[in-house]
Chain A
């Protein structure tokens, strides 16, 4: 397990976690870079690649939440909101995707990170509970509430568009 390999294999995961949480490319890049600098210093403590990935998810989540807290309510327009990359259009309805990302961004910090870990990383509630150090029941409750809220809002907003 060497640092360069870990960086190459996990940069998209780390960057995306921060990006989907913060919705700001510059901030996501800053957080991701900081996470990899920390990883470089901690390389000796990590047992194997699986442990490193768990550590990366945990530290990225924590650093993204800290960054959002420090940033406060300062709103930045993500590049993604001004133009959707062509490649993403193949992944379902781009308008719906963008609306979903906007709605996820309105969730409080912890439920937002739970949603990102669940639907970006495909983690189970048990795995999310380990990453965010919160009880499984809390993770499940965040997921249920966030899903219900998102469904309701998306149905309402898509109804408005139609």
Chain B
């Protein structure tokens, strides 16, 4: 049994990898680092674009809201002036009628 086990150890003796193995591992690490750097650069650029677009969108919405509320205030003021003018004309008519009498 011991002889057979020795034979198995011989058969499965460690083997050296190809001479280029170490250099290939370092090259793969460098390639992976480069790919990761490129990925993060793109990710940062995309994040900046999203932030910018969101900021512009928020600003635009605020402007639209302000314009709308301005328009509403203007309409309210116009209505109030209209009512006032109507009321004043009535009062003027009443005063005129009573003066003539």
Contacts and interface: CB of A to CB of B under 8 A. Distances in A.
Contacts of A11: 17, 21-22, 25
A150 B6 CA distance: 13
A115 B5 CA distance: 11
A104 B11 contact: yes
Given A33-B25, A151-B4, A97 B11 contact: yes
Contacts of A120: 9, 12-14
Nearest to A154: B4
Contact of B21 (A32, A100, A101): A32
Interface residues of A, number: 36
A94 to B, nearest CB: 9
B11 A101 contact: yes
A154 B22 CA distance: 37
A149 interface: no
Interface centre among B4, B5, B25, B28 (most CB of A within 10 A): B25
B28 A33 contact: yes
**Consensus secondary structure, chain A interface:** helix
B24 A33 contact: yes
Interface string B16-29: 11100110110011
B54 interface: no
Interface of B: 1, 4-18, 21-22, 24-25, 28-29, 32
24 contacts: A11-B17, A11-B21, A12-B15, A15-B21, A29-B21, A33-B24, A33-B28, A37-B25, A37-B32, A40-B29, A88-B13, A91-B13, A92-B7, A96-B11, A100-B11, A101-B11, A101-B12, A115-B8, A115-B12, A119-B9, A122-B9, A147-B1, A151-B4, A154-B4
Given A11-B22, A100-B12, A150-B8, 11 more contacts: A11-B17, A11-B21, A15-B16, A19-B15, A29-B24, A88-B13, A92-B6, A115-B12, A119-B8, A147-B5, A150-B4
